[in-house]
Amino acid sequence: MITAKRSRLRRAVLAALVVAGCAAALLWPRPAMTDASYTDGEYAASGTVTAATLSNPSNMTCTVQKTAGIFTSVTIGWQSAYPLTATVGGITVLTASSSVKTSTVTGISSSGTGPYTYTVTLDQSLLLSLVTNLLGSTTTFTVVNAAGTNWTSASLTKTLTMSLAGLNAKCV
pLDDT digit string, tens, across residues 46-73: 666 666 678 899 999 999 998 888 888 8
**Is the backbone of residue 136 left (phi > 0), alpha (psi -120 to 50) or beta?**
left
Mean pLDDT (whole number) for 145-167: 84
Write the pLDDT tens digit of every residue in 39-51: 666 655 566 666 6
Q: CA-CA distance, 71 to 121, in Å (whole number)?
A: 13
Instruction: Tell me the fold of 58-171.
Output: Immunoglobulin-like (2.60.40)
Mean pLDDT (whole number) for 130-146: 76
pLDDT of 80 > 50? The answer is: yes
Amino acid code (one letter) for 161: T
Backbone angles phi and psi of 98, in degrees to 5: -130, -175
Given a contact cutoff of 8 angstroms between Cβ atoms, the answer to whether 56 and 65 are in contact is no
Report pTM.
0.64
Given a contact cutoff of 8 angstroms between Cβ atoms, the answer to whether 94 and 108 are in contact is yes
pLDDT of 88 > 50? The answer is: no
What pLDDT is attached to residue 76? Answer: 92
pLDDT of 131 > 60? The answer is: no
Neighbours of 108 (CB within 10 A): 18
Start-end of H helices in the chain: 2-27, 124-127, 130-135
